[in-house]
Amino acid sequence: MLETLTTACRPAATPAELAAHHAVRHRVFVEEQHVFDGSDRDARDDDPLTIHVVAYAGTTIGGAVRLYPLDPAGERWQGDRLAVLPEYRVHGLGTPLVRYAVRTAAERGGLVMVAHIQLRNVGYFQRLGWHCDGEVETYVNLPHQPMAIDLRPRAEGS
């Protein structure tokens, strides 16, 4: 009964949580979607500034996302590798993961967050406040829509 489970997102804090983060990504992007051949890890995963997030459904990690600053000032952030295991989908893990990534980048001084979004997920991100930010482009060998969200707090009445 997934609907009754408590969900929570946080940065991977132990080797086991980091392994679970990578296991979710591997299952989704390597085994399910075949976006990557063998491994989806890249140099960003070795960068100490990269934040590897896990999403718990009850006591089990069912989702992951990572985020990192794109510039030395930490004003522009990227989120990627958003993945929820198939058995946990459409039960509200993806949305907290996206919101957690956005909130975390904002708390760290980010002004804007960008992402390359698979075309089937553009509507999903629009519902979460993101907007299209340029033409469709090839990213990891697949068409992706560049999208962005403003991280600055809105002034009252604006």
Ligand X SMILES: CC(C)(COP(=O)(O)OP(=O)(O)OC[C@H]1O[C@@H](n2cnc3c(N)ncnc32)[C@H](O)[C@@H]1OP(=O)(O)O)[C@@H](O)C(=O)NCCC(=O)NCCS
Side-chain half-sphere exposure of 147, counting CA atoms within 13 A: 24
The three-state DSSP-derived secondary structure of 100-155 is HHHHHHHHCCCCEEEEEEEHHHHHHHHHCCCEECCCCEEECCEEEEEEEEECCCCC
Task: Report in angstroms how near the CB of residue 92 gets to ligand X at its nearest.
Answer: 4
If we measure between CA atoms, which residue out of 116, 42, 106, 115 comes closest to residue 74?
A: 106
For residue 50, give the 3-state DSSP assignment: coil
Q: Which two tokens stand for residue 145?
A: 């829509």
Closer residue to ligand X (CB): 17 or 80: 80
86 vs 109 by CB, closer to ligand X: 86
Work out how close the CB of 95 gets to ligand X at its nearest, in angstroms, rounded to a whole number: 3
Nearer CB in complex with ligand X: 6/158: 6
Residues 85, 10, 115: CA angle, nearest 5 degrees:
65
**Which lies closer to ligand X via its Cβ, residue 51 or residue 57?**
57
**Positions in the binding site for ligand X (CB under 6 A):** 28, 82-84, 89-95, 117-118, 120-121, 123-124
* Residue of closest CB approach to ligand X: 94
Q: How far is the CB of 87 from ligand X (least distance, A)?
A: 11
CB of 60 to ligand X, least distance (A): 14
